[in-house]
């Protein structure tokens, strides 16, 4: 798994703290799913990282590999279409496949291991973590850098590179999903990869990564996400949710995530990461992120 090219963008004092992952594999509905792991047998808590659109396990690993160095068991999935996961039918992948895959993975992991499991969702992975927690009831805590609810028209406009696409009526999106569902386009054409980071070099690297931002995805995946009906926040009965939204995010404004968080019927907390863009690697926000994840881990640690 390629992750070192992302580590070099971290502040110097964090680079040597990132633990090298081990590649493992999990079979799911004909797919060979890549799972990066840093297992600590004596760890009391586990963290599972979920990437977003244009990401993969190697991209989020620098943010969670630090936790592995502090004695936490960490895993990160390559979701279908991304990373090293083997996807036999790329034109048929939909967002709901991600929801079902992660839900099944969480259930399998918690059946075989009773330690508390924290979900860390980056970008679109934040909403995915929220939905999986709501569906499975097996997650100890959700930490999300973003809670972009596609039911919110402002969130749809923010998610799409071309605001007119995000503003299309649901009926038009549904029709486009049926007509062009299998047509594959570069993800960077559809989402604002140029604002992935405040560092233009990192944004370019993310956008050209053949396992991440350089992937071609089916139109049906995008329309399925934009039309997907997540668990209404007022009906949510899952674990506590902590939002760690980058304060200087030029892609998905923090207020959109906070607006959704405020409606969640559970214990919630919001931490705005100072000086951070969508990919939170800047200080002091990165240290705020590390401290917040550490606090969450301590809060779910068995007595």
Any idea of the CA torsion for 266, 62, 218, 136, to the nearest 10 degrees? -30
User: pTM of the entire structure?
Assistant: 0.94
Q: What tens digit of pLDDT does each residue of 83-111 get?
A: 999 999 999 999 999 999 999 999 999 99
Q: What CATH number is given for 4-300 in this structure?
A: 3.40.50.1820
In order along its 303 residues, the chain shows pLDDT tens digits of 889 999 999 999 999 889 999 999 999 999 999 999 999 888 999 999 999 988 999 999 998 888 887 889 999 999 999 999 999 999 999 999 999 999 999 999 999 999 999 999 999 999 999 999 999 999 999 999 999 998 898 887 787 765 555 555 566 566 665 656 778 888 887 788 889 999 999 999 999 999 999 999 998 898 899 889 999 999 999 999 999 999 999 999 999 999 999 999 999 999 999 999 999 999 999 999 999 999 999 999 998
| Residue in the structure block whose two tokens are 């969702």 | 121
Angle, helices 95-112 vs 124-136, to 10°: value is 50
Reference 174, options 220, 218, 128, 216; nearest CA is: 220
**SS3 of 201, please?**
helix
Report pLDDT for 60. 96
From the CB of residue 235, how many other CB atoms can be counted at a distance below 10 Å? 9
| Half-sphere exposure for 164 (CA within 13 Å, toward CB) | 0
Q: What are the residue boundaries of the structural domains of the chain, listed by start?
A: 4-300
Q: What is the DSSP string of 8-20?
A: TTS-HHHHTTPPP
**Alpha-carbon span 145 to 206, nearest angstrom:** 17
Query: CA triplet 2, 64, 196: central angle to 5 degrees?
Result: 70
Q: What tens digit of pLDDT does each residue of 202-216 get?
A: 999 999 999 999 999
């Amino acid at each position: 798994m390629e992750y070192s090219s992302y580590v070099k963008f971290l502040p110097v004092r964090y680079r040597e703290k990132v633990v090298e992952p081990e590649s493992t594999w999990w079979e799911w509905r004909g797919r060979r799913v890549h799972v990066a792991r840093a297992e600590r047998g004596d760890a009391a808590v586990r963290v599972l990282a979920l990437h977003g659109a244009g990401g993969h396990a190697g991209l989020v690993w620098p943010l969670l590999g630090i936790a592995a160095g502090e004695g936490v068991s960490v895993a990160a999935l390559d979701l279908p279409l991304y990373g090293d996961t083997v996807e036999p039918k790329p034109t048929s992948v939909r967002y709901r496949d991600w929801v079902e895959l992660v839900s099944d993975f969480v259930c399998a992991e918690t059946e075989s291991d009773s330690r508390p499991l924290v979900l860390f969702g980056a970008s679109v992975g934040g909403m995915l973590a929220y939905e999986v927690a709501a569906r499975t009831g097996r997650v100890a805590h959700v930490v999300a850098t973003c809670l972009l609810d596609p039911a919110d028209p402002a969130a749809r406009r923010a998610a799409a590179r071309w605001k007119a696409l995000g503003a299309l009526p649901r009926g038009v999106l549904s029709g486009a999903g049926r007509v062009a569902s299998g047509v594959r386009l570069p993800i960077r054409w559809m989402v604002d990869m140029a604002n992935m980071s405040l560092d233009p070099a990192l944004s370019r690297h993310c956008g050209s990564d053949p396992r991440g931002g350089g992937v071609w995805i089916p139109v049906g995946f995008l329309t399925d996400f934009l039309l997907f009906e997540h668990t209404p926040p007022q009906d949510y009965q899952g674990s506590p949710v902590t939002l760690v939204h980058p304060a200087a995010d030029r892609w998905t404004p923090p207020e959109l995530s906070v607006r959704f968080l405020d409606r969640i019927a559970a214990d919630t907390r919001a931490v705005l990461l100072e000086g951070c863009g969508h990919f939170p690697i800047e200080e002091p926000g990165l240290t705020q992120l590390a401290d917040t994840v550490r606090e969450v881990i301590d809060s779910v640690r068995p007595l």
